[in-house]
Structure 1
Amino acid sequence: MTSENVIPLETAQEWAHAWVTSGISPVKAYLIPEADITQLMEEADVQDVRAYMGIDANGVSKMMLVGVDKNGKDLIDYSKGLYVYDFTMPCPNTCDVASPLYFER
Protein backbone atom coordinates (compact mmCIF):
# COMPACT_ATOMS: atom_id res chain seq x y z
CA MET A 1 0.00 0.00 0.00
CA THR A 2 1.35 3.41 -0.90
CA SER A 3 -0.75 5.63 1.33
CA GLU A 4 -1.38 5.69 5.05
CA ASN A 5 -5.07 6.26 4.26
CA VAL A 6 -5.47 3.15 2.11
CA ILE A 7 -7.40 0.37 3.83
CA PRO A 8 -7.61 -3.29 2.82
CA LEU A 9 -10.54 -4.23 0.60
CA GLU A 10 -11.76 -6.62 3.30
CA THR A 11 -11.96 -3.75 5.82
CA ALA A 12 -13.82 -1.58 3.31
CA GLN A 13 -16.25 -4.43 2.68
CA GLU A 14 -16.84 -4.89 6.41
CA TRP A 15 -17.53 -1.18 6.87
CA ALA A 16 -19.81 -0.97 3.81
CA HIS A 17 -21.74 -4.05 4.89
CA ALA A 18 -22.12 -2.68 8.43
CA TRP A 19 -23.47 0.60 7.02
CA VAL A 20 -26.00 -1.09 4.74
CA THR A 21 -27.24 -3.47 7.42
CA SER A 22 -27.43 -0.75 10.10
CA GLY A 23 -30.55 0.75 8.54
CA ILE A 24 -29.27 4.26 9.29
CA SER A 25 -29.91 5.40 5.71
CA PRO A 26 -31.04 3.84 2.43
CA VAL A 27 -28.08 5.58 0.74
CA LYS A 28 -25.17 3.22 0.14
CA ALA A 29 -22.77 5.58 -1.60
CA TYR A 30 -22.49 8.83 -3.54
CA LEU A 31 -21.14 9.29 -7.05
CA ILE A 32 -19.10 12.51 -7.24
CA PRO A 33 -18.18 13.53 -10.80
CA GLU A 34 -14.51 14.42 -11.40
CA ALA A 35 -15.51 17.83 -12.76
CA ASP A 36 -17.24 18.68 -9.49
CA ILE A 37 -14.19 17.72 -7.40
CA THR A 38 -11.96 19.74 -9.73
CA GLN A 39 -14.22 22.81 -9.40
CA LEU A 40 -14.18 22.57 -5.62
CA MET A 41 -10.40 22.07 -5.43
CA GLU A 42 -9.83 25.10 -7.67
CA GLU A 43 -11.46 27.46 -5.18
CA ALA A 44 -9.01 29.84 -3.49
CA ASP A 45 -7.03 28.41 -0.56
CA VAL A 46 -8.66 24.95 -0.68
CA GLN A 47 -6.32 22.27 0.68
CA ASP A 48 -8.84 19.58 1.56
CA VAL A 49 -12.53 18.75 1.24
CA ARG A 50 -15.01 18.10 4.06
CA ALA A 51 -18.27 16.17 3.55
CA TYR A 52 -21.39 16.91 5.55
CA MET A 53 -24.42 14.66 5.56
CA GLY A 54 -27.93 16.08 5.60
CA ILE A 55 -31.58 15.37 4.90
CA ASP A 56 -33.74 17.79 2.92
CA ALA A 57 -37.34 18.77 3.65
CA ASN A 58 -38.55 15.77 1.62
CA GLY A 59 -36.47 13.30 3.64
CA VAL A 60 -33.91 12.80 0.85
CA SER A 61 -30.34 12.11 2.00
CA LYS A 62 -27.80 14.71 0.88
CA MET A 63 -24.03 14.93 0.83
CA MET A 64 -22.64 18.45 0.92
CA LEU A 65 -18.98 19.22 0.26
CA VAL A 66 -16.99 22.29 1.26
CA GLY A 67 -13.42 23.33 0.71
CA VAL A 68 -11.16 23.38 3.76
CA ASP A 69 -8.09 25.58 4.27
CA LYS A 70 -4.64 24.60 5.57
CA ASN A 71 -5.83 25.28 9.15
CA GLY A 72 -8.75 22.86 8.88
CA LYS A 73 -11.37 25.62 8.60
CA ASP A 74 -14.34 25.36 6.24
CA LEU A 75 -14.15 27.88 3.41
CA ILE A 76 -17.72 29.12 3.03
CA ASP A 77 -18.20 32.68 1.78
CA TYR A 78 -20.57 33.06 -1.14
CA SER A 79 -19.41 36.65 -1.77
CA LYS A 80 -15.91 35.25 -2.47
CA GLY A 81 -17.03 32.26 -4.54
CA LEU A 82 -16.51 29.77 -1.70
CA TYR A 83 -19.60 27.58 -1.81
CA VAL A 84 -21.30 24.59 -0.24
CA TYR A 85 -21.79 22.00 -3.00
CA ASP A 86 -24.67 19.53 -3.19
CA PHE A 87 -23.25 16.49 -4.94
CA THR A 88 -26.36 14.42 -4.47
CA MET A 89 -26.03 11.48 -6.81
CA PRO A 90 -26.87 8.76 -4.29
CA CYS A 91 -26.81 5.03 -4.67
CA PRO A 92 -29.40 3.62 -5.10
CA ASN A 93 -29.84 5.15 -8.54
CA THR A 94 -26.12 5.52 -9.30
CA CYS A 95 -24.86 2.19 -7.90
CA ASP A 96 -22.18 -0.06 -9.32
CA VAL A 97 -23.86 -3.32 -8.40
CA ALA A 98 -20.74 -5.24 -9.51
CA SER A 99 -18.54 -3.42 -6.97
CA PRO A 100 -17.08 -5.52 -4.15
CA LEU A 101 -18.39 -2.79 -1.81
CA TYR A 102 -22.01 -3.09 -2.98
CA PHE A 103 -24.32 -4.97 -0.62
CA GLU A 104 -28.08 -5.47 -0.56
CA ARG A 105 -29.82 -4.92 2.75
Structure 2
Amino acid sequence: MEHHASKHDKSIFEIPLTEAERLTKAWAARHNFIKAYLIDAQELKDMIDERGASYVRVYFGWDNEMEKGREQRLIMVPANEYGNDMINEEANRAQDAVENSNIFDFTMPCPPTCSPEGPLNQL
Protein backbone atom coordinates (compact mmCIF):
# COMPACT_ATOMS: atom_id res chain seq x y z
CA MET A 1 0.00 0.00 0.00
CA GLU A 2 1.46 3.32 -1.03
CA HIS A 3 1.57 6.34 1.24
CA HIS A 4 -0.41 9.39 0.17
CA ALA A 5 0.91 12.61 1.67
CA SER A 6 -1.79 14.91 2.95
CA LYS A 7 -2.24 17.85 5.26
CA HIS A 8 -3.49 15.34 7.83
CA ASP A 9 -0.09 13.63 8.13
CA LYS A 10 0.44 15.25 11.53
CA SER A 11 -3.13 14.98 12.85
CA ILE A 12 -3.58 14.14 16.54
CA PHE A 13 -6.63 12.10 15.47
CA GLU A 14 -4.71 9.65 13.33
CA ILE A 15 -4.72 6.06 14.64
CA PRO A 16 -2.47 3.10 13.79
CA LEU A 17 -3.62 0.48 11.29
CA THR A 18 -3.59 -2.19 14.02
CA GLU A 19 -6.13 -0.22 16.08
CA ALA A 20 -8.33 0.42 13.02
CA GLU A 21 -8.22 -3.30 12.18
CA ARG A 22 -9.16 -4.21 15.77
CA LEU A 23 -12.09 -1.79 15.74
CA THR A 24 -13.46 -2.87 12.34
CA LYS A 25 -13.12 -6.55 13.27
CA ALA A 26 -15.06 -5.90 16.49
CA TRP A 27 -17.80 -4.15 14.47
CA ALA A 28 -17.99 -7.06 12.00
CA ALA A 29 -18.12 -9.56 14.89
CA ARG A 30 -21.35 -7.89 16.04
CA HIS A 31 -22.95 -9.05 12.76
CA ASN A 32 -23.64 -5.53 11.53
CA PHE A 33 -24.68 -5.63 7.87
CA ILE A 34 -23.48 -2.10 7.01
CA LYS A 35 -19.70 -2.05 7.42
CA ALA A 36 -18.81 1.45 6.24
CA TYR A 37 -19.98 4.47 4.27
CA LEU A 38 -18.42 5.92 1.15
CA ILE A 39 -18.70 9.71 1.30
CA ASP A 40 -18.60 11.96 -1.76
CA ALA A 41 -15.47 14.06 -1.16
CA GLN A 42 -16.60 17.07 -3.20
CA GLU A 43 -19.98 17.23 -1.42
CA LEU A 44 -18.19 16.98 1.95
CA LYS A 45 -15.68 19.64 0.91
CA ASP A 46 -18.51 21.95 -0.19
CA MET A 47 -20.19 21.49 3.20
CA ILE A 48 -16.94 22.14 5.08
CA ASP A 49 -16.20 25.22 2.96
CA GLU A 50 -19.56 26.78 3.80
CA ARG A 51 -19.10 30.14 5.51
CA GLY A 52 -19.20 29.69 9.27
CA ALA A 53 -18.80 25.90 9.25
CA SER A 54 -16.23 24.57 11.72
CA TYR A 55 -17.56 21.03 12.07
CA VAL A 56 -19.71 18.42 10.39
CA ARG A 57 -22.22 16.61 12.56
CA VAL A 58 -23.37 13.14 11.52
CA TYR A 59 -26.77 11.91 12.67
CA PHE A 60 -27.87 8.30 12.47
CA GLY A 61 -31.21 7.68 10.85
CA TRP A 62 -33.44 4.64 10.35
CA ASP A 63 -35.43 4.21 7.13
CA ASN A 64 -38.12 1.53 7.38
CA GLU A 65 -38.72 1.79 3.62
CA MET A 66 -35.26 0.41 2.82
CA GLU A 67 -34.62 -3.30 2.37
CA LYS A 68 -33.69 -5.28 5.48
CA GLY A 69 -30.10 -4.62 6.54
CA ARG A 70 -29.89 -1.29 4.71
CA GLU A 71 -32.22 0.76 6.92
CA GLN A 72 -29.39 2.72 8.58
CA ARG A 73 -28.78 6.16 7.06
CA LEU A 74 -26.30 8.94 7.78
CA ILE A 75 -27.56 12.51 7.78
CA MET A 76 -24.97 15.28 7.82
CA VAL A 77 -25.20 18.96 8.66
CA PRO A 78 -22.50 21.62 8.94
CA ALA A 79 -22.02 23.03 12.45
CA ASN A 80 -20.58 26.37 13.53
CA GLU A 81 -17.66 27.04 15.87
CA TYR A 82 -19.94 26.48 18.88
CA GLY A 83 -21.07 23.08 17.59
CA ASN A 84 -24.55 24.33 16.67
CA ASP A 85 -26.16 22.81 13.58
CA MET A 86 -26.35 25.22 10.67
CA ILE A 87 -29.77 24.05 9.48
CA ASN A 88 -31.70 26.57 7.43
CA GLU A 89 -34.82 26.56 9.59
CA GLU A 90 -36.49 29.29 7.53
CA ALA A 91 -36.31 27.13 4.38
CA ASN A 92 -37.48 24.10 6.38
CA ARG A 93 -40.74 25.68 7.53
CA ALA A 94 -42.40 24.50 4.31
CA GLN A 95 -43.62 20.87 4.43
CA ASP A 96 -40.90 18.49 3.15
CA ALA A 97 -38.67 21.37 1.99
CA VAL A 98 -35.59 20.02 0.25
CA GLU A 99 -33.99 23.02 -1.37
CA ASN A 100 -31.67 25.00 0.92
CA SER A 101 -32.36 22.86 4.00
CA ASN A 102 -28.61 22.49 4.62
CA ILE A 103 -29.26 18.87 5.63
CA PHE A 104 -27.48 16.25 3.52
CA ASP A 105 -27.55 12.54 2.78
CA PHE A 106 -24.77 11.88 0.25
CA THR A 107 -23.26 8.74 1.73
CA MET A 108 -23.28 5.31 0.10
CA PRO A 109 -23.29 2.20 2.34
CA CYS A 110 -20.87 -0.70 2.16
CA PRO A 111 -21.96 -3.16 1.01
CA PRO A 112 -22.19 -2.60 -1.93
CA THR A 113 -19.66 0.26 -2.11
CA CYS A 114 -16.93 -1.58 -0.19
CA SER A 115 -13.26 -1.27 -1.04
CA PRO A 116 -12.47 -4.54 -2.86
CA GLU A 117 -9.16 -4.86 -1.05
CA GLY A 118 -7.70 -3.58 2.15
CA PRO A 119 -7.16 -4.53 5.76
CA LEU A 120 -10.25 -2.70 7.04
CA ASN A 121 -12.73 -4.48 4.76
CA GLN A 122 -14.07 -7.06 7.23
CA LEU A 123 -16.81 -8.70 5.18
Q: Which of the two has greater helix per residue?
A: 1
Q: Structure 1 pair 20/96, CA: closer, same or farther in 2 (3 Å)? A: same
Aligned counterpart in structure 2 of residue 71 of structure 1, from 57, 61, 82: 82
Aligned amino acid, residue 13 of structure 2: N
TM (normalized to structure 1)? 0.86
Q: How many residues are matched?
A: 103
Aligned residue for 2:10?
A: 2
Aligned residue for 1:37?
A: 44
Aligned residue for 1:49?
A: 56
Aligned residue for 2:97?
A: none
Root-mean-square deviation (CA, aligned residues, Å) is 1.8
Distance 1:88 1:57 in 2: 17
Aligned counterpart in structure 1 of residue 35 of structure 2, from 10, 28, 35: 28
Runs of 4 or more, structure 1, over 6 Å off, are none
Q: Kindly, what percent of the aligned residue pairs are identical? A: 32
Structure 2 unaligned blocks of 5 or more: 1-8, 92-99
Aligned counterpart in structure 2 of residue 88 of structure 1, from 80, 92, 107: 107
Q: Which has the larger radius of gyration?
A: 2
Aligned amino acid, residue 52 of structure 2: D
Aligned residue for 2:94?
A: none
Q: Which of the two has greater strand per residue?
A: 1
Residues 19-53 of structure 1: CA distance to partner in whole angstroms, max 9, x if unpaired?
11112x31111111111112211323111111111
